[in-house]
Chains A and B, each alone.
Chain A
């Protein structure tokens, strides 16, 4: 059904369609609209789900862990400080192999208080064993959330998954949304290691080095298997519902000499910049990186690359720029831009391409070519 929605409401609509048995909810700007909308669904009888209004994000993830291993589908949503407050349990969820789905509305971290878009929150959970996808439109927020349940709960994966959408720049903007009749796209929840009092097991007891090490490898093995599962699910989604997704969303890349790599809404903004540059005769393309974990293989051989990082790893560099460099060997022009919701227009992105200096880094509007 064609309608209009904000990014947050699109996520909530997808959650309604996937019917989790338990939802843990704690408000934080700019995520709050998701848990409010779900509360409305539950109160109005549109979603038959147990809604736990927890007292913190640490408890939100702990409650999802208990519910997920208890044998039901679970969902929660957070942002920024909330995500970091649940960090311990984020690791726990992955280590416990629980397919919890969480929406994270990307927001900067304090101090000072800043509620606008930045990817530092999600990237700080980089090494936890969660799958992470970043979306660029309201429709994609909906579609990716639906697919998240299917991918995470696949027995070849059984890892939690985070759907990332930019605070305000996507969470609060309104675009068209085509909702689907889900049918059997997301099968009933089945966790092979769910708690069963007829078959009592010890979960997560003291574990020696050999077993611990093996369990870590098992997470990585599933993360590798997840690439195939993601491709499979995205293909089936396209067949069923007519919208196709991949590890990246490529725009006019085929013959491009220079490619802009960005994530989230900046990746969509880049497409407008590409049209401008093409009008000027610059053969530019855009590659919006959707998947962050597992990190995709990128086909960028022989091109110049401009990476826009809405994040920074202090003492090291832009996280996406360095990930790309380590994966492809390409020295990109690294642009740090949009932190704390800084406005970055398509004209700015076109300038990044025009003024590119591969192998250097610039902090947009703050410090050039450092």
Chain B
């Protein structure tokens, strides 16, 4: 039934006007993860709780006794968000409440230190939504590499470029067979909004992985933050999709991009973190993008 409501939201003007993330947060200029959070909360509504491990959002929400949020926010230790959300979800169930429990965690808190708790919560079938906003490094602490940092990217702990590839978080989550999982990107807020709505209409553990470009971390001008997200999708570097009860469907913006992806250089060249990339690494990156496109295209077509 919720799907009908979701389909009726065809443009941004149909998104609720209520704000749950107030203006003037402590976010950096051009921060795309706070932009995403704004739409996540609009989709979730007021009967929701955010569980937040150490991440950029710990800072963005402001300093005690102030808060930039109009929903309860439970801050918890770095590795603990999915487990904390498990307890909270069970407590609400025990009390007969239907409050949405939403983890909003960065990539470090998800693919690295938080992955055990995440895996445990998904295996147990916890009724919650876990959102990873991925800026591909430890942004809060000044851009150190995380398991989600892509090949070749310079961070403060990979000054020569990261020698290994990005951990494929989505395939790890997929291995838990969740009823719903999706990818999203800050440059496509309507797509994100619909996915959050749909996720929250389903019982059980749900997962959304958002690519969230980061101006200071990726080293591009703040006004390019939406453009950077669009280029990630148009080059096929980031593919938008949903997986409902295992069934894959590629989302609109990525369908065209997968048929004819824009040149990878369009995405790479505007980012300081990829400066002086060797031709060999660039070639490897191209191969990875192509392989990923082909893998998902084959799966969607039913050719596995």
Where the two chains meet, the residues of A that have a C-beta atom closer than 8 Å to any C-beta of B are 21-22, 24, 49-50, 52-56, 58-60, 62-72, 74, 88-89, 92, 195-197, 200-208, 211
**Interface core residue of A24, A72, A202, A208 (most chain B CB under 10 Å):** A202
- Name B87's contact: one of A24, A197, A202 (CB within 8 Å): A24
Residues of B within 8 A of A66 (CB): 51, 74, 76, 83-89, 91
CB-CB nearest in chain B for A63: B87
Indicate whether B62 reaches chain A with its CB closer than 8 angstroms: yes
Residues of B within 8 A of A49 (CB): 94
Indicate whether B249 reaches chain A with its CB closer than 8 angstroms: no
A55 touching B120 in the complex, CB below 8 Å, given contacts A66-B51, A205-B75: yes
Indicate whether B284 reaches chain A with its CB closer than 8 angstroms: no
- Name B91's contact: one of A54, A56, A70, A203 (CB within 8 Å): A70
CB-CB nearest in chain B for A211: B64
A65 touching B87 in the complex, CB below 8 Å, given contacts A55-B119, A58-B117, A59-B120: yes
- Name A72's contact: one of B69, B94, B120 (CB within 8 Å): B94
Residues of B within 8 A of A204 (CB): 74-76
7 A-B pairs within 8 Å (CB atoms) are namely: A50-B93, A54-B83, A62-B79, A62-B86, A197-B49, A201-B67, A202-B73
CB <8 Å contact, A197 and B90: no
Main secondary structure of the interface of B (DSSP, over half): mixed
CB <8 Å contact, A63 and B86: yes
Provide the bound-state CA to CA distance between A67 and B48, in Å: 15
CB-CB nearest in chain B for A197: B47
Provide the bound-state CA to CA distance between A67 and B51, in Å: 12
Indicate whether B65 reaches chain A with its CB closer than 8 angstroms: yes
CB <8 Å contact, A22 and B87: yes
7 more A-B contacts (CB under 8 A) besides A70-B88, A202-B66? A21-B94, A59-B83, A59-B116, A63-B84, A66-B86, A197-B72, A202-B64
Interface string of B53-87 (1 = CB under 8 A from A): 00000110111111101111111110111111111
CB <8 Å contact, A200 and B87: no
CB-CB nearest in chain B for A199: B72
Provide the bound-state CA to CA distance between A60 and B99, in Å: 22
**Interface core residue of B62, B66, B89 (most chain A CB under 10 Å):** B89
CB <8 Å contact, B90 and A89: no
Provide the bound-state CA to CA distance between A118 and B119, in Å: 33
CB <8 Å contact, A67 and B88: yes
Indicate whether B123 reaches chain A with its CB closer than 8 angstroms: yes
Q: In angstroms, how far is the closest chain A Cβ from the Cβ of B97?
A: 8
Provide the bound-state CA to CA distance between A72 and B51, in Å: 17
Residues of A within 8 A of B73 (CB): 200-203, 205
Closest 7 CB pairs of A and B: A70-B91, A66-B87, A55-B120, A59-B83, A63-B87, A202-B67, A67-B87
CB-CB nearest in chain A for B123: A55
Provide the bound-state CA to CA distance between A67 and B128, in Å: 14
Provide the bound-state CA to CA distance between A71 and B85, in Å: 13
CB-CB nearest in chain B for A64: B87
Residues of B within 8 A of A202 (CB): 61-62, 64, 66-67, 69, 72-73, 75
Q: In angstroms, how far is the closest chain A Cβ from the Cβ of B9?
A: 23
Provide the bound-state CA to CA distance between A66 and B102, in Å: 12
Indicate whether B124 reaches chain A with its CB closer than 8 angstroms: yes
Residues 118-133 of B contacting A (Cβ, < 8 Å): 119-120, 123-124
Q: In angstroms, how far is the closest chain B Cβ from the Cβ of A112?
A: 25
A205 touching B62 in the complex, CB below 8 Å, given contacts A71-B91, A88-B77, A197-B72: yes
Indicate whether B222 reaches chain A with its CB closer than 8 angstroms: no
CB <8 Å contact, B124 and A206: no
- Name B80's contact: one of A62, A71, A200, A207 (CB within 8 Å): A62
CB <8 Å contact, A70 and B116: no
CB <8 Å contact, A62 and B117: yes
CB <8 Å contact, B72 and A201: yes
CB-CB nearest in chain A for B46: A197
Residues of A within 8 A of B304 (CB): none
Residues of A within 8 A of B63 (CB): 205-208
**Interface core residue of B62, B71, B90, B120 (most chain A CB under 10 Å):** B90
CB <8 Å contact, B48 and A65: no
